[in-house]
């Protein structure tokens, strides 16, 4: 979640001291609208008297009341800023003397560059209402229309990279709504903020509650506390030690890219988050060679949304090993160990499609990612990234190729019913399949045993006959007996 976007809901608002114009009249100049807003919220002098601002905010799901955001935002008129976030993740970011930075418990420190930096600098403008003439000199009043039951002027703030628009109540001069387009990895996200209530504090009238729509996310943003002129000392905004260290390394040309950026780049070059999110079916067939023992197995994997999954591996001498789920019951079966219906906890570890969706939502699954090194693996220059699971119990290491951003290798402990198997997967021969980069060769080392997987057919988002996910009769019977208490998996 972007602090910058949240902050937009708190940015100072503009007014005009001129008389309100009736609908159908000639549209006013932007200065009239802005100055009316300034006047309605305390006056230009009061706005300019504020040298710093500290706001505590909380965002809640309007339906469930669940807190999805909690943060403290401190900004100074000179452009320095410090944002401290507790929810959804512990993170800080800010601007100090033109250096835009971020640190998160998830991914550690990074210095912002390019558009990322520009956006941070733009959003660090404190109480910009008083400075609108210098910030948005080419603004226009585009029309008058009803918004949220109020007749409003629609104003385009120009120039603004985010294409910001604001609606002001013709009668009161107060802000009613503002919209913008926020850059994201896959394009732009539409953001809309509608003011629901106002509060006076230290001579300024500011929104105290806003309804925010950010893409598909809807939440109510409430201002818990406001304080002015408390944080005027530059030390308040100084880079925290880990960021300072990182910044020094970057200036010396020794800094490694932030792990979050590496993973996002991987997703982007693999086809983009949207492509993963829209992945509904997968069918992969190929061969699995057990290199040391000379065995070659045939494998087939089907998966679709809802956790439905089926995989078979036919190993000469061992027979067909099967595993699957109909979305409710996870199961496995082999000639050696027989049939087994698994408790629903096992379902979480299954599913190709679930996996794919997790690619875009990877932050929900991990508690920490860190770039550890730049090193050469099999002749490939790779960034080594450490990934810690959400519960902190599992640590995986991934190597992302520096030249193309693709994942080259993963090393992780694989949990099985019999214990943990240290496993190294090496991804090779990426192919383009349905807009995604797909590794057609995967080398596996599992506790010292070498295997080689060759995908000879990969079909994404194709038609899959649902019958393939139906439970075998013996599994159905077994599950009915074993989970008679209702402990089976639920969709």
Q: Does 435 bind other proteins (CB under 8 A)?
A: no
CB of 388 to other proteins, least distance (A): 15
By CB under 8 A, the residues from 326 to 355 that bind other proteins are 332, 334-340, 349-352, 355
Locate tokens 């450490």: which residue? 386
Stretch that binds other proteins, among 91-99, 150-158, 369-377, 438-446 (CB under 8 A): 438-446
Token representation of residue 439: 């590794």
Looking at 89, 105, 245, 292, which residue binds other proteins (CB under 8 A)?
292
Q: Does 418 bind other proteins (CB under 8 A)?
A: yes
| Nearest residue to 440 (alpha-carbon basis) of 429, 424, 450 | 429
Q: Does 197 bind other proteins (CB under 8 A)?
A: no
By CB under 8 A, the residues from 368 to 407 that bind other proteins are 406-407
Residue number, 197 or 416, with CB nearest to other proteins? 416
CB of 359 to other proteins, least distance (A): 5
Query: From CA 270, how far away is CA 437, in angstroms rounded?
Result: 5
Token representation of residue 473: 């009769």
Stretch that binds other proteins, among 14-22, 42-50, 165-173, 265-273 (CB under 8 A): 265-273
Looking at 449, 456, 457, 480, which residue binds other proteins (CB under 8 A)?
449
Q: Does 207 bind other proteins (CB under 8 A)?
A: no
CB of 98 to other proteins, least distance (A): 35
| Nearest residue to 310 (alpha-carbon basis) of 335, 282, 288 | 282
Looking at 132, 153, 438, 469, which residue binds other proteins (CB under 8 A)?
438
Residue 448, burial from CB neighbour count under 10 angstroms (0-12, 13-18, 19+): exposed
Query: From CA 424, how far away is CA 271, in angstroms rounded?
Result: 24
By CB under 8 A, the residues from 459 to 478 that bind other proteins are 474, 477-478
Q: Does 274 bind other proteins (CB under 8 A)?
A: no
Specify whether the backbone of 114 is left (phi greater than 0), alpha (psi in -120 to 50) or beta.
left
Looking at 32, 80, 231, 321, which residue binds other proteins (CB under 8 A)?
321
Looking at 290, 367, 388, 441, which residue binds other proteins (CB under 8 A)?
290
Looking at 70, 362, 402, 470, which residue binds other proteins (CB under 8 A)?
362
Q: Does 270 bind other proteins (CB under 8 A)?
A: yes
Q: Does 313 bind other proteins (CB under 8 A)?
A: yes
Residues belonging to the chain: 491
By CB under 8 A, the residues from 58 to 87 that bind other proteins are none
Looking at 123, 453, 458, 488, which residue binds other proteins (CB under 8 A)?
453
Q: Does 446 bind other proteins (CB under 8 A)?
A: yes
By CB under 8 A, the residues from 110 to 169 that bind other proteins are none
Stretch that binds other proteins, among 57-65, 87-95, 165-173, 425-433 (CB under 8 A): 425-433
CB of 478 to other proteins, least distance (A): 6
CB of 444 to other proteins, least distance (A): 6
Token representation of residue 307: 């956790």
Q: Does 294 bind other proteins (CB under 8 A)?
A: yes
Measuring CA to CA, how many Å separate 159 from each of 135, 163, 328? 8, 8, 53
Query: From CA 191, how far away is CA 202, in angstroms rounded?
Result: 29
Q: Does 297 bind other proteins (CB under 8 A)?
A: yes
CB of 344 to other proteins, least distance (A): 15
């Amino acid at each position: 979640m972007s602090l910058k976007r949240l902050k937009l809901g708190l940015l100072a608002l503009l007014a005009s001291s001129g008389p309100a114009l009736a609908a159908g009249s000639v549209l006013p100049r932007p200065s009239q609208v802005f100055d009316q807003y300034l006047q309605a919220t305390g006056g230009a002098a009061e706005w300019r008297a504020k040298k710093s601002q500290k706001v505590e905010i909380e965002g809640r799901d309007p339906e469930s009341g669940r807190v999805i955001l909690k943060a403290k935002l401190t900004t100074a008129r000179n452009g320095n800023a410090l944002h401290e976030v507790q929810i959804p993740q512990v993170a800080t970011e800010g601007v100090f003397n033109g250096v835009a930075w971020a640190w998160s418990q998830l991914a550690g420190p990074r210095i912002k560059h390019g558009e990322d930096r520009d956006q941070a600098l733009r959003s660090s403008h404190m109480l910009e209402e008083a400075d609108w003439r210098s910030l948005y000199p080419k603004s226009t009043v585009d029309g008058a229309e009803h918004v949220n039951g109020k007749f409003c002027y629609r104003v385009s703030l120009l120039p603004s990279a985010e294409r910001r628009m604001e609606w002001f109540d013709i009668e009161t001069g107060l802000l009613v709504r503002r919209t913008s387009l926020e850059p994201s990895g896959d394009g732009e996200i539409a953001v809309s903020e509608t003011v629901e209530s106002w509060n006076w504090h230290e001579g300024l009238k500011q929104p105290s509650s806003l309804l925010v729509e950010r893409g598909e996310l809807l939440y109510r943003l409430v201002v818990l506390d406001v304080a002015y002129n408390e944080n005027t000392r530059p030390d308040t905004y100084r880079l925290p030690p880990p960021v300072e260290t990182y910044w020094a390394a970057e200036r010396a040309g020794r800094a490694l890219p932030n792990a979050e950026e590496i993973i996002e780049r991987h997703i982007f070059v693999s086809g983009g988050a949207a492509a993963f999110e829209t992945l509904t079916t997968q069918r992969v067939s190929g061969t699995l060679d057990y290199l040391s023992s000379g065995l070659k197995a045939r494998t087939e994997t089907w998966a679709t949304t809802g956790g439905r999954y089926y995989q078979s591996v036919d190993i000469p001498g061992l027979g067909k090993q099967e595993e699957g789920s109909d979305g409710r019951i996870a199961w496995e079966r082999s000639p050696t160990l027989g049939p087994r219906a698994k408790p629903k906890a096992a379902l979480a570890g299954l599913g190709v499609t679930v996996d794919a969706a997790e690619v875009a939502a990877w932050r929900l699954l991990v508690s920490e990612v860190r770039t550890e090194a730049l090193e050469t693996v099999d002749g490939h220059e790779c960034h080594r990234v450490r990934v810690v699971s959400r519960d902190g119990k599992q640590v995986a290491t991934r190597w992302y190729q520096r030249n193309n951003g693709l994942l080259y290798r993963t090393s992780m402990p694989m949990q099985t019913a019999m214990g943990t198997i240290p496993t190294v997967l090496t991804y090779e021969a990426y192919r383009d399949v349905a807009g995604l980069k797909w590794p057609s060769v995967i080398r596996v080392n599992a506790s010292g045993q070498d295997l080689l997987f060759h995908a000879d057919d990969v079909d994404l988002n194709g038609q899959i006959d649902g019958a393939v996910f139906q439970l075998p009769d013996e599994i159905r019977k077994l599950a009915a007996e074993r989970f008679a208490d209702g402990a089976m998996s639920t969709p």
